[in-house]
Amino acid sequence: MREADQAGVLLLEDGSRFEGTLVSSGECFGEVVFNTSMTGYQEIITDPSYRGQVVLMTQPHMGNYGVSSEVSESRRPWVEGFIAREFTRVPSGVGGEPLIEYLQRSNVPALEGIDTRAVVRRLRATGSLRGVIAPLSADPDELKEHLHTMPRMVGRALVDEVTCDEAYNVPAQGEERCFLALYDFGAKENILRSLSKRGARVRVLPARTSAEDCLALGIDGVVLSNGPGDPEPLTSIIEAVRTLLAAELPLLGICLGHQLLGLAVGGSTFKLKFGHHGGNQPVKDLVNGTVAITSQNHGFAVDGDSLPYNCRVTGINLNDGTVQAFEVNDRPVFSVQYHPEASPGPHESARIFDEYLKAVTDHAAVAAR
């Protein structure tokens, strides 16, 4: 243990206790989930979808290439706490700010030196658990009391904590092809970059924007972004999505947006045992038979059997068979559970943006006749 470090502990709600070293001091509570990505730790830390969660990385070493402002997915870190087997103190290559210093500066508690493999095995066996990172000197009885009173993720609406305060514009790069509205439920910056570089001008809207105000903008299509928490409590947003569906504009749902779209068409969602968090999730396209390796971060899923007759499932997760994509028949409406803007090595999932923008421009051309 280095002189500036402090003994720390991860305490889970089932009583499991893992002692290690706090490289960024503090105390935090949240649902503990594990992420299997080998790189991309800064994108994970700044992903608003992790609001309310403590993230444990299965890759043993974190921080090898430092931190750079250019790759952040939002204006600040959103993870409640961060855990790795070991953090690199001095970045290699071009470097950048050391990850530990970034976590300290951002007041994100971070723990190293615990048996992360043992924690992952427990989470896989029991499902995601509420947990706390704290100094080893903290009163264990107080920690347990607080831990068992904190809300579970089921029933928890978190989009209001991460959405933008007011609407703003993102200009198209190059020639403008279309004008889109994007509902910000915790949108990652790279979604906006992916749309902008393909010629879309985007109006980013707060999560509770009414469908009427959205449609009054004169848009060509709507994107429903990723975000944290349980989709089912977001009843007013689901109603807004139903109104947007009735307007027959092209819609694209991503992650939480995919789940909200599933609820809006009449389907249901459910909590996964330990979720999908990582950059190596295999998704089979049921239309053309191809398999894409995707980046995912979600704890809820759409029940495929609950979708109405006019919808068809177009993608499944090959690990557990859960719905990864569906579309509405004869309508320019489709959604994906994975993150097409993320590129954990392969880039094949980015085609979703190309397909969606083609649907938008085709729909606009027909409407203009």
Q: Which residues are catalytic?
A: 255, 339, 341
Give the separation between CA 227 and CA 225, rounded to whole angstroms. Answer: 7
Answer yes or no: are the C-beta atoms of 159 and 237 closer than 8 Å: yes
CA distances from 289 to 217, 285, 286 (A): 38, 5, 5
SS3 call for 166 = coil
Answer yes or no: are the C-beta atoms of 297 and 47 closer than 8 Å: yes
For residue 203, list its beta bridge partners. Answer: 169, 181
- CA atoms within 13 A of residue 39's CA, in its CB half-sphere: 9
- CA atoms within 13 A of residue 91's CA, in its CB half-sphere: 15
Give the separation between CA 24 and CA 54, rounded to whole angstroms. Answer: 14
